[in-house]
Amino acid sequence: MRYVTSYVIGLIFGIGISISGMANPAKVLNFFDVAGNWDPSLIFVMGGALVVTFIGYRFVLRRTAPIVDATFHLPDNPHLDMRLLGGAAVFGIGWGITGFCPGGALPALGTGRFEVVAFVAALIAGIFAAKALMALTGTRAARVLRRET
Amino acid sequence: MIMIDTIFTPWQSLAGGALIGLASVLLMLTLGRILGATGILAGVLTPTTHPDTGWRLAVLAGMVTGPLAVLALTGQMPVVQVPVTLPMLLIGGFLVGIGVTYGSGCTSGHGVCGMARLSRRSIAATATFMVTTAITVFIIRHVLGA
């Protein structure tokens, strides 16, 4: 039941991405190219998604728990830090170079296009590299802390 | 870089956006989870002790079959036009991977779900990546003139 539900939700997301234009890098890049051949379509994608989610969440999060889980899994860290903002800045540079974001590229894999496969392979390599780097700097920070205390 | 003109599609994009929102609401209603492409992909790649890999794989399978469902319904595969070179795809993809891991999310997790929750972190992250994306596109197209 859990898996069928998850699959259908992924499918709705994938269809939404496909018809919205988010899976098309040319459209994404033209949205950001206000000084060139601007295509404002992505405002409508973001607007449609935000309005539905904003209203839907108001009702859903009023419940004490979701339907097939004991609790809501919501991030509760309120702090802004360099890791968040630096990461977001680097993500934007990559998005601007390629026109693909993860939510656009994963459904686009279904088209079987080689360019999407190449992007997703590099994306996965980047995720592993960042996790390794985090583990490395994390253990170094822990070592420094141990030495100082 | 080749520039490809694209047509303004307000209704299609609005409908697609609404479906993205519907999926986000349904995942919160059923599993109580944020529908973030980054979190779901990273959760499958580097699983923790929680038994969460199954539902994440199911969501990913659904996402990938999205274009095929569109093909079945409309007779046309969704358009994917890639106006960038292979080295750009690889370098940019790698940067996206680093960025979304350090930034704990991307357009779907921060830009849709987090913003809809009025999360400070998501609003700050979304504002940051929208600006750096626009600057990057401007530099590549109008400064480097590629």
Q: Among B6, B23, B103, whose Cβ lies nearest the Cβ of A9?
A: B23
Report the percentage of chain A scoring pLDDT > 70.
93
The torsion angle over the Cα atoms of residues B112, B117, B121 and B125, rounded to 10 degrees, is 20
- Domain positions in chain A are 2-148
Tell me which chain B residues have a C-beta less than 8 angstroms from the C-beta of A71. 32
Q: Which of residues 67-106 of A touch B (CB under 8 A)?
A: 67-69, 71-75, 77-80, 83-104, 106
The Cα B128–Cα A86 span in angstroms is 9
The Cα A91–Cα B144 span in angstroms is 20
The torsion angle over the Cα atoms of residues B25, B18, B114 and B102, rounded to 10 degrees, is 110
The Cα B20–Cα B121 span in angstroms is 21
Across B74-78, average pLDDT: 94
Measuring CA to CA, which residue among B6, B29, B15, B35 is closest to residue A47? Answer: B15
The Cα A92–Cα B21 span in angstroms is 22
pLDDT at res. B80: 96
B62 touches A10 (CB < 8 A): yes
The Cα B46–Cα B26 span in angstroms is 25
pLDDT at res. B52: 85
For A60, the 3-state DSSP assignment is helix
Across B86-95, average pLDDT: 98
A131 confidence band (pLDDT: 50, 70, 90): very high
ipTM beyond cut 0.85: yes
B136 touches A92 (CB < 8 A): yes
